[in-house]
Amino acid sequence: MATTAPRPKSRRAADDISYTDLYERWERGNWSATEIDFTQDKIDWEEKMTDEQRRTAMWLFSLFFHGEDAVTDGLSPYIDAAPLEEQKYFIATQQVDEARHSVFFNRFMNEVVGLGDGSIAGGMNATAGQLSWGHKMIFQGLEDMCVQLRADQSPHQFARAITLYHILIEASLAQPGQHVIEAFLEQEDLLPGFRSGIANVALDEQRHIAFGVKALADLYDADPKGTETAVLDVVRENGVFISGVAMPPNWDESYFTAFNYSYDDLGRDGV
């Protein structure tokens, strides 16, 4: 009786990612948040941008600022739970990245917008009123996830944590938001210092997302059903919060149109 040869395993995007390469890319891509020149940005902010554009920038930049700080504070349990040393080393670079991003946003808020006293806490206190309901809920969920991961370092819990941070927060929220900001500032030729910084932030986030894809692929290879369940559960638990992160105050879509965008455009980009 003739037998059918097994189909070769299809190659996945994750198969082209290695933890060593991601670490090397981090070393090559290092940049300084403290050396960005915001001189022209302050002129643009005060003399070129409209009230509506400044309002939108304050809102979007604040969402990022608080998100970066939350991840900086909470990422260490991911390092402890990672099963491979190479994973631990790369996640350690992520924590450095998130701290650098927080410094970048805080500098802009203080030196360009004139908010806060220069300290991270001062900047966060001055911008806390900008946060949406969805943002507060999703990052409270991340804080809870970090507590759970510290207590339970199983592969299943690690898969849940990776899904929330790397896939939902970074890939589904941060990346589309960065595209909105970069596209508008480039079109209008505004805030050159901020543009250079957010471009570096976006490159960092791309490495983080690639790590999340690779880590989940490895976890899936070891336990397909368990990893699938972990991923789907986190998506179901947080879907409603994800859609609410970019909900502008009072559902006022002018927060988007001021940046030549719409809520639907943002949805098509990934949220």
145-190 per-position pLDDT tens digit: 999 999 999 999 999 999 999 999 999 999 999 999 999 999 999 9
Q: Which of 5-9, 33-37, 233-237 has the least mean pLDDT?
A: 5-9
CA atoms within 13 A on the CB side of 188: 19
Cα separation, 172 vs 8, in Å, equals 31
99-143 per-position pLDDT tens digit: 999 999 999 999 999 999 999 999 999 999 999 999 999 999 999
Cα separation, 158 vs 176, in Å, equals 25
What is the three-class DSSP state of 7?
Answer: coil
Q: What is the CATH T-level fold of the domain 50-269, as seen in this structure?
A: Ribonucleotide Reductase, subunit A (1.10.620)
Ranges of each domain in the chain: 50-269
38-70 per-position pLDDT tens digit: 999 999 999 999 999 999 999 999 999 999 999
Closest CA to 265 of 181, 153, 151: 181
What pLDDT shows up at residue 1?
A: 41
How far are the Cα atoms of 28, 82, 239, 260 from residue 216, in angstroms, in the given order?
A: 25, 11, 19, 35
Residue pair 67/135 in contact (Cβ under 8 Å)? The answer is yes
Q: What is the pTM of this model?
A: 0.92
What contacts 255, CB < 8 A, 6 or more positions away?
A: 55, 56, 59, 248, 249
How far are the Cα atoms of 166, 213, 215, 218 from residue 19, in angstroms, in the given order?
A: 15, 11, 9, 11
